[in-house]
Chain A
């Protein structure tokens, strides 16, 4: 970044170019701000060519967010006027986005296919193909296939893995979702949200072994962030489910008494943490009664 200033300061100073840069660097999605400052910045004469081209691109994408297709078309034609070739990869990707926004998904897919034929390592084109399929109804299988193709070429992209995990969770395939979340875990092990997501998947599937894993992941989330309420509630639920599953277990399953004890302690611990978190709020009474149901079950 050229300046380390905050966004509010930049807006107050009417530093249009740097506001746009801030939005780009921090990947903030604020289309009205981008359009407003972009149009103001383009009026300035003293912009270098590179900056001007980048601003046109940013304004075009923001206009698509605001459903302002005329502004997007204007930006595209201005880019061509400034000397950008039709065969430019960056221009064609922007064109593809405009096509997608206007509803011409077949045209956009064809464009991305052409780009991929030219350069199979074009990860942005693969991402857009997946996005097109995801926005369409009834294309679950094709969506998953497209995302798999992207992941095969970009195995180390944690954002793509979390996208896969969410997709699998939507489809109800929790085992594969857990696998995908664990790939995210390898990249970001200290993120409590990832642990909570894994634990929730395990809890949904159920079964003694899975619930044990769920307990552990909820505990890990609490170790990383003791005030994480979702983890606190989740711990109570998962540990309680473990105790119930243990008591309902068939004769064939080996039930470890020690683990059952641990689970009971975890229920009490989680309940205490939750009640502690809600102290002083109006919801305390309802939380207390809820936790009482769980803790009474394990006595």
Chain B
């Protein structure tokens, strides 16, 4: 049954538009608050910085770069990489035990556990602002804007959405189409829709701020909010990569082996004859163009 309801224009003036404006303002406020609550950069873990850079380099062996060196050299590098990864894993573990034995208390962000101990709010700060605001807004909407139909969405919805979007509209009105929704659903719709809009409005920070974060990484610090990696965890990663490399087999030979053929062109590339030696002049078994044939194809006929 399709019933077309006529909704009061006051709803639009006093609920739909104000709610939209409030949410834009709340989004900007949330952004400013999160910038203020940002922590300071933390010292990067020297062990994991060194080991993860080794890991990055050895992973390049598995990329297409393997086809730009001979198969044999690639295999040599693979073996060498496996060995180096295992050695580095041992080193990382040794350094980590040395560090925890010496009890270096000044180094925070050693691993996620101690980072959480030292700075219990660091992980929660960013999410908390968002969650708090969410709770407050939803409570506010339910208090102020409940009990009436807000709008009709222009696209048809299935009946499953009724319980979600028509909460608080008195008893479940079985006749009401699911397209008629309450204010809470408008809130959710706008919240997710505004994310990209806010990105556009707030815009990118100036170049200097972005450079600052990249320089922070260069100077050996992690950007605020990130925790470093434990030596043991990174050693685990290195050993895993060593095993991956061991099992890794190139499906085909390196393309580099045949590069001369490609550059000269198939026509010009000398053809390998199957026979060398005293039988090579046998016309039945050799190619006509092979240099090994004596006399055939090379002499010009002089008239």
Some 21 contacts from A to B, beta carbons below 8 A apart, are A21-B207, A93-B219, A119-B219, A119-B221, A121-B43, A121-B50, A152-B50, A153-B46, A154-B53, A155-B50, A155-B53, A186-B61, A187-B60, A189-B67, A215-B260, A216-B70, A216-B259, A219-B262, A261-B291, A266-B264, A269-B264
Residue from the list B45, B206, B215 in contact with A90, Cβ < 8 A: B215
**Residues in chain A near residue B60, CB distance under 8 A:** 156, 186-187
Q: Would you give the 0/1 interface string for B160-203, flagging 1 where the beta carbon is closer than 8 Å to chain A?
A: 00000000000000000000000000000000000000000000
Residue from the list A54, A153, A261 in contact with B50, Cβ < 8 A: A153
A51 within 8 A of B: yes
Residue from the list A50, A157, A186 in contact with B208, Cβ < 8 A: A50
Contacts A2-B206, A120-B46, A121-B46 given; indicate if A182 touches B264 (C-beta within 8 A). no
Report the separation of the CA atoms of residues A252 and B144 in the bound assembly, to the nearest whole angstrom: 96
Residue from the list B50, B69, B207 in contact with A2, Cβ < 8 A: B207
Q: Would you give the 0/1 interface string for B206-224, flagging 1 where the beta carbon is closer than 8 Å to chain A?
A: 1111011001001111000
Contact stretch, chosen from B6-14, B267-275, B295-303: B267-275
B116 within 8 A of A: no
Q: Are A119 and B207 in contact (CB under 8 A)?
A: no
**Residues in chain B near residue A258, CB distance under 8 A:** 270, 272
**Residues in chain B near residue A223, CB distance under 8 A:** 259, 262-263
Q: Would you give the 0/1 interface string for A1-45, flagging 1 where the beta carbon is closer than 8 Å to chain B?
A: 110000000000000000001001100000000000000000000
Q: Are B269 and A189 in contact (CB under 8 A)?
A: no
**Closest CB pairs A-B (n = 4):** A121-B220, A189-B68, A120-B46, A156-B56
Q: Are B206 and A216 in contact (CB under 8 A)?
A: no
Q: Are A153 and B45 in contact (CB under 8 A)?
A: no
Q: Are A122 and B70 in contact (CB under 8 A)?
A: no
A148 within 8 A of B: no
**Interface residues of B, count at CB 8 A:** 45
Report the separation of the CA atoms of residues A152 and B61 in the bound assembly, to the nearest whole angstrom: 18
B242 within 8 A of A: no
Residue from the list B45, B53, B54, B68 in contact with A185, Cβ < 8 A: B68
B65 within 8 A of A: yes
Interface majority SS on B: helix, strand, loop or mixed? helix
B143 within 8 A of A: no
Q: Are B54 and A156 in contact (CB under 8 A)?
A: yes
B64 within 8 A of A: yes
Residue from the list A121, A185, A219, A265 in contact with B259, Cβ < 8 A: A219
Q: Are A124 and B219 in contact (CB under 8 A)?
A: yes
A213 within 8 A of B: yes
Report the separation of the CA atoms of residues A258 and B290 in the bound assembly, to the nearest whole angstrom: 10
Q: Are A54 and B211 in contact (CB under 8 A)?
A: yes
Q: Are A219 and B263 in contact (CB under 8 A)?
A: yes
B57 within 8 A of A: yes
Q: Would you give the 0/1 interface string for A143-174, flagging 1 where the beta carbon is closer than 8 Å to chain B?
A: 00000000011111100000000000000000
How far does the Cβ of B153 sit from chain A's closest Cβ, in whole Å?
39
B44 within 8 A of A: yes
For residue B58, which residue of chain A has the nearest CB?
A155
A82 within 8 A of B: no
How far does the Cβ of A202 sit from chain B's closest Cβ, in whole Å?
11
How far does the Cβ of A69 sit from chain B's closest Cβ, in whole Å?
24
B73 within 8 A of A: yes
Q: Are A265 and B46 in contact (CB under 8 A)?
A: no
A201 within 8 A of B: no
Report the separation of the CA atoms of residues A152 and B51 in the bound assembly, to the nearest whole angstrom: 9
For residue A89, which residue of chain B has the nearest CB?
B219
Contacts A185-B69, A189-B65 given; indicate if A124 touches B259 (C-beta within 8 A). no
Report the separation of the CA atoms of residues A262 and B61 in the bound assembly, to the nearest whole angstrom: 29
**Residues in chain B near residue A200, CB distance under 8 A:** none
B256 within 8 A of A: yes
**Residues in chain B near residue A215, CB distance under 8 A:** 260
